[in-house]
Amino acid sequence: MAIADRVPGPKGNRFKGQIQAFRENTLGFLLDCAHDYGDVVHFKTGPRDHFLLNHPDYIKDVLVTNNRNFTKSPFIQGKPLMGEGLITSEGEFHHRQRRLAQPAFHRKRIATYASIMTQYSKRHIERWQDGETRDIAEDMMQLALAIVSKALYDTDVEAETDSIGAAVDTVMLATQRSPAWLYRLAPSSVIKVLDQLPLPANQRFLQAKARLDTTIYRMIAEHRAHGGGDDLLSMLMRTTDEDQDGAQMSDAQLRDEAITIFLAGHETTANALTWAWYLLSTHPQVEAKVYAEIDEVLGGRVPTIDDIPKLTYIDMVVHESLRLYPPVWMMARTSINAFDVGGYRIPAKTSVMFGPYVMQRDPRYFPDPERFDPMRWTPEAQAERPKFSYFPFGGGPRQCIGEAFAWMELITVLATIAQHWRMRVVPGHVVEPQPRLTLRPRNGVMMKFEERVPVPHL
């Protein structure tokens, strides 16, 4: 019997597989797969077989123990946008680029970014008015964009965040291409051709990409003109390639690396912050504890790096929020050689998927999984769970390079803003996760803003 028939899963239509269910309600479909069929599930979208892994040991196997047997391609949707940057490149080239970027993400280095994070947060909230209604998702996107640009590229983009944000929205939505059935059924060679056609969707994507490139190439040009400083972009620029007669990175390669970190470094944290605000606003008892901790630890001061270890309850809130709404909700790999998992032999060149959104809602590790409960994150409770029952930042050699940066940002931004503001979701506004490249709230999160304590002037 073929492996696809032996592994349990929803079989669906012979030709279309489960495309429709997958497309109409992706998150619900995947949760049902895990619930109904267990730790290894098979389903098809068009001609493509997928194996969904729902056990921490199996996920660890793919990401860590046997990571060399898996590539990210050809399921990398981001390549048309990010080219050969850190997220999308593979093998020796990826290894080298990662080594070059690493110093900018060193813990000591990240400590120096804390003051940028608090300064930009304070500056951002000065524009808010007591009693007004705002989309917190948009605010967090603008803030996270300004922070990553300043911290890693020493560039101020605050004046351009609206147009950059609109371009990012377009490129993120472009991952859902239409007509969907065609993109699901067509082999990747045909998709490459489709992407070149002058279709309106392709043109929108190309325009948005060009908008982002304008900012990135301007940053590169400015850095070249003044010789650069000690930010990530300057570091990458100064790097020479020993294997290529000491050649420096071309502008095209710098662009791929810069746009990758620019996008990965703000879209994810902005979504994480948005989901945290949403959860706090809908759980007033948790929110009250956050305020109590902030008032006790900070007493009205701006948080500094030394305060971070004392903000233990906020740390648990962030863990729990990343559990329920992981910005990177799904990961996928392709097997190089056949491999064994859960008693099955999965063939070479097969797609395996596993998602924080699904695994982190598994009642074996998180009883009553839909409940928002930061107390799941006491050190004792954490020690009882296997590592890969929770992996919002991935794992193994492709683990998020920005994890420490993200933690610092999530905690400093939440603490700085919560000192002064309380938000409430506008009645009637439906908040719903939309799984695209990242897990965004469909239609944003409209909140009523209430000032707790006025912001003193800088």
Compare residues 116 and 401 and give the one whose CB is closer to ligand HEM: 401
Does the N-terminal peptide bond of residue 303 adopt cis geometry, omega within 30 degrees of 0? Answer: no
Distance CA 386, CA 198 (A): 49
Q: What secondary structure letter does DSSP report for 64?
A: I
Backbone angles phi, psi at 14, to 5 degrees: -60, -40
Q: Is 253 in the site for ligand HEM (CB under 6 A)?
A: no
Q: Is 38 in the site for ligand HEM (CB under 6 A)?
A: no
Number of residues interacting with ligand HEM: please give it, by CB under 6 A: 24
Ramachandran area for residue 20 (φ above 0: left; ψ -120 to 50: alpha; else beta): alpha
Q: Is 413 in the site for ligand HEM (CB under 6 A)?
A: no
The encoded tokens of residue 136 equal 């917190």
Q: Is 402 in the site for ligand HEM (CB under 6 A)?
A: yes
Distance CA 77, CA 131 (A): 41
In the complex, least distance from residue 141 CB atom to ligand HEM, rounded to whole angstroms: 13
User: Taking the CB of residue 319, how many other CB atoms lie within 10 A of it?
Assistant: 17
Quick check: 161 and 139 in contact, CB under 8 A?
Answer: no
The interface region with ligand HEM, picked from 266-274, 300-308, 364-372, 380-388 by CB under 6 A, is 266-274
Q: Is 269 in the site for ligand HEM (CB under 6 A)?
A: yes
Distance CA 234, CA 103 (A): 12
Compare residues 110 and 185 and give the one whose CB is closer to ligand HEM: 110
Q: What number of CA atoms fall less than 13 Å from residue 215's CA on the CB side?
A: 26
Query: What is the x/- site pattern for ligand HEM, positions 98-137, by CB under 6 A?
Result: x---------------------------------------
Backbone angles phi, psi at 107, to 5 degrees: -55, -40
Q: Is 264 in the site for ligand HEM (CB under 6 A)?
A: yes
The interface region with ligand HEM, picked from 201-209, 241-249, 299-307, 324-332 by CB under 6 A, is 324-332
Compare residues 21 and 276 and give the one whose CB is closer to ligand HEM: 276
Q: Is 406 in the site for ligand HEM (CB under 6 A)?
A: yes
In the complex, least distance from residue 299 CB atom to ligand HEM, rounded to whole angstroms: 28
Q: Is 55 in the site for ligand HEM (CB under 6 A)?
A: no
In the chain, the amino acid numbered 96 is: R
Q: Is 265 in the site for ligand HEM (CB under 6 A)?
A: yes
In the complex, least distance from residue 390 CB atom to ligand HEM, rounded to whole angstroms: 12
Q: Is 327 in the site for ligand HEM (CB under 6 A)?
A: yes
In the complex, least distance from residue 160 CB atom to ligand HEM, rounded to whole angstroms: 19
Distance CA 321, CA 396 (A): 23
Distance CA 281, CA 288 (A): 10
Report the candidate in 405, 437, 409, 398 with the shortest Cα–Cα distance to residue 97. Answer: 398
Q: Is 435 in the site for ligand HEM (CB under 6 A)?
A: no
Distance CA 342, CA 62 (A): 12
Q: Is 400 in the site for ligand HEM (CB under 6 A)?
A: yes
Member of 34, 41, 82, 86 binding ligand HEM (CB under 6 A): 86
The interface region with ligand HEM, picked from 38-46, 207-215, 300-308, 402-410 by CB under 6 A, is 402-410
The interface region with ligand HEM, picked from 10-18, 346-354, 394-402, 423-431 by CB under 6 A, is 394-402
Q: What number of CA atoms fall less than 13 Å from residue 451's CA on the CB side?
A: 12
Compare residues 21 and 290 and give the one whose CB is closer to ligand HEM: 290
Q: Is 347 in the site for ligand HEM (CB under 6 A)?
A: no
Residue by residue, DSSP assigns 371-421 as S--GGGGSHHHHHTS-GGG--TT--GGGS-TTHHHHHHHHHHHHHHHHTTE
Backbone angles phi, psi at 52, to 5 degrees: -100, 125
Member of 52, 87, 237, 280 binding ligand HEM (CB under 6 A): 87
Q: Is 325 in the site for ligand HEM (CB under 6 A)?
A: no
Distance CA 450, CA 305 (A): 27
Instruction: Please name the residue that has the structure tokens 């439906």.
Output: 430
Q: Is 331 in the site for ligand HEM (CB under 6 A)?
A: yes
Residues of this chain that interact with ligand HEM (CB under 6 A) are 86-87, 98, 148, 260-261, 264-265, 268-269, 272, 326-328, 331, 392-394, 398, 400-402, 405-406
